[in-house]
């Protein structure tokens, strides 16, 4: 068995490269995984690729198996699906999801791998990390039966949030985005769509996931009296300016943050990150979620692909990387 692999690194802000990666000898509790697919978590990985992680967040933003340090060189990513070549007897030959960067083969403790449930194809499982983030965001938002919920930003996470909330009986969900092409994606997910100018006002909950300060300003306009705005976007080293001099105080609005690194407070007593990930994987049985995978490239093309994804707006949601 070869003792090297190939991995994608951000060599410098805005420039990626494929490097040979030495593999250590597996320990008694380890497994060897041959990557089949990985996903580009476009929002966060674009910020990492561009060198936009602020120094204050260099430690908190480390991915579980990151190598190197911000801003670069750094090996970063967390959406890998592969087949177990060597490891515990009950896992050999099975496909697993691992929070690992883009790499052809890797060795991890068996305890960190999540076996794919029956009925979840490996190619779709690259959405697991995004769906886990969406689940945590919905937990932070705490929608109730019959609530009017607006989701701003029809990226991968925003679409998943809208899809989850739409499954709550009686909830009226609207997905809002400046890109009219996202209407087709919303329609496939069974979620009403609106552009900002026609979005419904007086929402009970607004969940912001556009990654743009203008989207958060729009959330203030759409929120009803004493409504909660859940901020799921991460702006990196960018500053978001908000018009808090308008009706923000008179309407007694609340802005709260959501971040997947910690389980939402209302669930934390009973849930840990492993249970949350297992829930996300089980929900990937629905084939409608294939709608969110809008492109695929070979692993060797990743440096050029990442450069394109980091700079172009386009219609890309989740971009999948193929290893064979």
- Do 66 and 160 lie in one domain? The reply is no
CATH number of the domain at 56, please: 3.90.180.10
Q: Nearest to residue 80, comparing CAs of 121, 16, 118, 127?
A: 127
Q: Are residues 111 and 38 in the same domain?
A: yes
Range of the domain at 11: 4-124+284-322
Asked, for residue 276, whether it belongs to a domain, the answer is no
Give the pair of three-digit tokens for residue 281: 């994987």
Q: How many CB atoms lie within 10 A of CB 252?
A: 10
Would the pLDDT of 2 be above 90? Answer: no
Whether residue 182 is found in the same domain as residue 210: yes
Percent of the chain clearing pLDDT 70 (strictly above)? 99
Confidence of residue 42 (pLDDT cuts 50, 70, 90): confident
| Mean per-residue pLDDT, 282-307 | 97
pLDDT digits (tens, 9 = 90+) for 88-141: 999 999 999 999 999 999 999 999 999 999 999 999 999 999 999 999 999 999
**Is residue 275 domain-resident?**
no
Q: Are 203 and 148 in contact (CB under 8 A)?
A: yes
Q: What is the mean pLDDT of residues 56-72?
A: 96
**DSSP E strands, the chain:** 4-12, 15-22, 30-40, 67-68, 74-75, 80-86, 95-98, 105-109, 114-115, 148-152, 172-176, 193-194, 203-208, 223-231, 254-257, 293-298, 318-322
Q: Is residue 174 part of a domain?
A: yes
User: Do residues 261 and 304 both lie within one domain?
Assistant: no
3 state SS for 194-263: ECHHHCCCCEEEEEECCCCHHHHHHHHHHEEEEEEEEECCCCCCCCCCCCCCCCCCCCCCEEEECCCCCC
Q: Which of 294, 297, 289 is nearest to 321 (CA)?
A: 297
Domain co-membership, 150 together with 192: yes
Inside any domain, residue 270: no
Nearest to 243 by CA among 214, 285, 206: 214
Structure token digits, residue 210: 């556009």
What average pLDDT does range 16-42 have in this prediction?
Answer: 96
Q: Tell whether 222 and 110 lie within a shared domain.
A: no
108 occurs within a structural domain = yes
Chain mean pLDDT for the chain: 96
Looking at the structure, tell me whether residues 35 and 9 fall in a common domain. Answer: yes
Cβ count near 314 (within 10 Å): 12
Asked whether residue 103 falls in the same domain as residue 156, the answer is: no
Residue range 66-91: average pLDDT?
97
Instruction: Give 43's pLDDT tier (boundaries 50, 70, 90).
Output: confident
How many whole angstroms separate alpha carbon 108 and alpha carbon 27? 9
Instruction: Calculate ∠ Cα 312-314-320, nearest 5°.
Output: 90
- Write the DSSP symbol of residue 304: H
- Identify whether the C-beta of residue 209 lies closer than 8 Å to the C-beta of residue 233: yes
Count the alpha carbons within 13 Å of 236 in the hemisphere toward its beta carbon.
16
Residues 186, 291, single domain; the answer is no
pLDDT band at 55 (very low <50, low <70, confident <90, very high): very high
User: Does 17 share its domain with 109?
Assistant: yes
User: pLDDT tens across 230-288, in order?
Assistant: 999 988 888 888 999 888 999 999 999 999 999 999 999 999 999 999 999 999 999 99
- Report whether pLDDT(57) > 90: yes
User: Do 49 and 17 lie in a common domain?
Assistant: yes
Whether residue 103 lies inside any domain: the answer is yes
Helix (H) or strand (E) holding 136: helix 128-141
Classify residue 271: in a domain, yes or no.
no
Asked if residue 172 and residue 96 are part of one domain, the reply reads no
Residue 279 in any domain: the answer is: no
**Interacting residues of 312 by C-beta distance below 8 A, sequence separation 6+:** none
Residue 287 structure tokens: 């084939």
| Predicted TM-score (pTM) of this structure | 0.95
* CATH number (domain holding residue 156): 3.40.50.720
* Cβ-contact 122, 116 below 8 angstroms: yes
What b/e sequence results for 151-160 when a residue is b if at least 16 CB atoms lie within 10 Å of its CB, and e otherwise? bbbbbbbbbb
Mean pLDDT of 184-209: 98
259, 260, 265, 271: CA torsion to nearest 10: 180
> How many domains in the chain?
2
């Amino acid at each position: 068995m070869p003792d090297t692999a190939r991995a994608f690194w951000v060599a410098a802000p805005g420039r990626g490269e494929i490097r040979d990666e030495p593999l250590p000898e597996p320990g008694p509790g380890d497994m060897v995984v041959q990557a089949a697919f990985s996903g580009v978590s476009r929002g966060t990985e674009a910020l990492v690729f561009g060198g936009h992680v602020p120094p204050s967040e260099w430690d908190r933003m480390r991915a579980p198996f990151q190598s190197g340090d911000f801003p670069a060189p750094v090996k970063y990513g967390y959406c890998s699906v592969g087949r177990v070549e060597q490891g515990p007897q009950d896992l050999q030959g099975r496909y697993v999801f691992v929070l690992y960067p883009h790499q052809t083969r890797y060795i991890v403790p068996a305890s960190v791998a999540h076996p794919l449930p029956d009925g979840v194809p490996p190619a779709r499982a690259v959405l697991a990390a995004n769906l886990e983030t969406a689940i945590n965001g919905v937990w932070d938002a705490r929608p109730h039966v019959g609530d009017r919920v607006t989701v701003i930003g029809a990226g991968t996470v925003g679409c998943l949030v809208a899809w989850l909330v739409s499954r709550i009986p009686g909830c009226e969900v609207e997905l809002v985005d400046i890109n009219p092409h996202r209407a087709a994606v919303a329609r496939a997910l069974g979620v009403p769509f609106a552009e900002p100018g026609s979005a419904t006002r007086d929402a009970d909950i607004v969940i912001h996931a556009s990654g743009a300060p203008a989207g958060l300003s729009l959330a203030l306009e759409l929120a009803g009296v004493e409504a909660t705005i859940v901020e799921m976007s991460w702006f990196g080293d960018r500053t978001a300016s908000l018009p808090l001099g308008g009706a923000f105080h008179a309407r007694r609005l609340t802005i709260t943050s959501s971040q997947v690194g910690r389980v939402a407070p209302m669930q934390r007593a009973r849930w840990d990150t492993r249970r949350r990930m297992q829930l996300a994987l089980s929900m990937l049985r629905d084939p409608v979620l294939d709608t969110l995978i809008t492109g695929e490239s070979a692993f060797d093309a990743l440096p050029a692909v990442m450069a394109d994804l980091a700079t172009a707006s386009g219609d890309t949601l989740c971009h999948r990387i193929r290893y064979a």
